[in-house]
Amino acid sequence: MQNDNDLNELIIKIREKEEEELAQKLADVLKLKYFNLKIKHLNPEALKIIDKETANNLLILPIEKKGNNLILGVVDPTDDRVIKFIEELKQKGYSIDLGVISKSSFERGFIDYEFIKKDKPKYTQILEINEEKIESIIEKLKQKEDLGKLIDEIQSSQPLLILDYLMAAAFKFDSSDIHLEPLENKVIFKLRIDGILYEVAQINKSSYLIIKNRIKLFSGLFLNITQKPQDGRFSISLGNKKIDIRVSTIPSAYDETIVMRLLNPEKIMLSLEELGFEDYELKKINYYIYQPNGLILNTGPTGSGKTTTLYAILNKIKRTEIKIITIEDPIEYQIEGITQTQVNISENYTFASGLRSILRQDPDVILVGEIRDEETSKIAINASLTGHLVISTLHTNDSLGAIPRLIELGVDRSLIPSALKLVIAQRLLRRVCNNCSQEYYPDERLLTIIKNNLAYIPQDIYNSINFEKISLLKPQGCENCFYTGYKGRIAILELLEINENIKKIIYQGEINEQNLLEALKLSGFINLKQSGILRAIKKITTLEEVERVTGSLI
């Protein structure tokens, strides 16, 4: 004997069969087509022609759109409302191909409305902030902690102004990111200053809702979506200055967490010389970026300055007689004289597919925002072997990890020595504040540690250091550096050249970081830690900062 579920399924199948038969008969009587939507998905572009509410009221569905030709399925073609609506579509220039569908088909097809990509709401892309107002707020901010006091004064009476105060503080303290982190009964504001997060203020939940919605409105995010991540961006116009803000929201335990990244063209559009590279580093980089072909990789974690370095390279080598094309995710800054394209997953424009398309444009130099999969890595390698200079990033901890990572991604190891020319690994160190730092002389123990760490650097650089007279700096803190002891940042580098010793290791298949390191010691390789120590000796940073970023010196 059948159970209740089996009986219900049988009844549903019988009903649906009867409905389909009736729809077919109605189509025959009216001399129209018959559509069965249980085996067909609706075209997303067609769905945008008729809104969800109208479709539900009239029991009508747009099935396909080809140019101005629109294929419609309708449950009752004799309904006066349907006839009137179809006439309205014709007046808009659509050619209508009408067919009959069953009620079951309608219910099945109607589900497709839930999967179409909705257009983002219209929003103001540029947030105009009164320059005088910002300047007046900045004057009141002597320390990071002052922001919390100022926000406490306005959050009850003028909560909309909180965003202005946040932006003013970000400009004042030269922040790269603003973090809004909800807790159970309050929301914490943090600023990332020179790579370090500082808590600067707190607000109540009701004020946060106002600020959150204002941010989402300006960045083109849906106000009613709170349980899914969203990404958007807007710009701030401050007098003659325009700063792009990249916004990311994610759901968290107590509300949405928001991070806003400030993209200031003045901070990223720097020359290689302005980035603080040493002369020997610039000499190597300049040699390889002016080669007609080959692969140059920049490695490091998020926030290590890779984008700034890559843009500096493109700015240096661009000239009218060469064609440079990029594929980025996203395009952070527009560079005049360069063709820049952006990854668009919804249109299947990925790093791999974009790189294939770019190669058909006859470029001389290609920038790939990131090599993250097998297809992209293989195309990049092949492009570098066929007359193109390819520059890209790769996520590894240091330069030595780049070669094993390429092999993991499926690159033929025999192609790497010919294709790969230079691997740059970099980190950002905070510059010690010149206004308040304190000079000191290392004791014998610390001096020995420094010497041991620099044992395998190039002999000429080692010999140029007078270890008997080394003095270093300690951070103190003053108003100039907002009492952190540091102000600004500088890059430290590893430069891995694919020399004959490295090529030999790759061809023999004995690839591991220890083997690579032993081979590099013979050629005067300088690692990240050593690069940092050399800058500490030059009083650009501190040993404490070198340890924070690169690990213990012992």
| DSSP assignment of 302-366 | TTSSHHHHHHHHHHHH--TTS-EEEEESS--S--TTSEEEE-BGGGTB-HHHHHHHHHTT--SEE
Does position 527 have pLDDT exceeding 70, yes or no? yes
Does position 121 have pLDDT exceeding 60, yes or no? no
Domain 126-263 adopts which CATH fold?
Answer: Beta-Lactamase (3.30.450)
Residue 485: pLDDT band with limits 50, 70, 90: very high
Is residue 309 within 8 Å of residue 296, measured between CB atoms? no
DSSP 3-state percent helix, strand, coil across the chain (nearest 5): 45, 25, 30
22's tokens: 């009736």
pTM recorded for the entire structure: 0.73
What are the pLDDT digits (tens) for 353-392? 999 999 999 999 999 999 999 999 999 999 999 999 999 9
For residues 264 and 245, give the distance between their C-alpha atoms in angstroms, rounded to a whole number: 9
Q: Which listed CATH number (3.40.50.720, 3.40.50.300, 1.10.443.10, 3.40.50.1000) goes with 268-550?
A: 3.40.50.300
Please give the mean pLDDT across all residues of the chain: 88
Q: 3-class SS at 512?
A: coil
Domain 4-115 adopts which CATH fold?
Answer: GMP Synthetase; Chain A, domain 3 (3.30.300)
Closest to 245 in 3D by CA, of 155, 124, 356, 76: 124
Closest to 430 in 3D by CA, of 527, 532, 530: 532
Residue 35: pLDDT band with limits 50, 70, 90: confident
For residues 302 and 426, give the distance between their C-alpha atoms in angstroms, rounded to a whole number: 11
Query: Between 524 and 233, whose confidence is greater?
Result: 233
Domain boundary assignment for the chain: 4-115, 126-263, 268-550
Q: What pLDDT does residue 126 have?
A: 64
For residues 539 and 516, give the distance between their C-alpha atoms in angstroms, rounded to a whole number: 31
Tell me what the mean pLDDT of segment 221-242 comes to: 82
Tell me what the mean pLDDT of segment 488-506 comes to: 92
Tell me what the mean pLDDT of segment 518-539 comes to: 90
Kindly state the percentage of the chain with pLDDT values over 90: 56
Q: Which residue has the tokens 């094993």?
A: 404
| DSSP assignment of 351-375 | HHHHHHHHHTT--SEEEES---SHH
Q: What does each C-alpha distance from 223 to 214, 227, 230 come to in angstroms?
A: 9, 11, 10
Residue 4: pLDDT band with limits 50, 70, 90: low
For residues 510 and 403, give the distance between their C-alpha atoms in angstroms, rounded to a whole number: 11
Q: What pLDDT does residue 463 have?
A: 93
Q: What pLDDT does residue 554 have?
A: 87
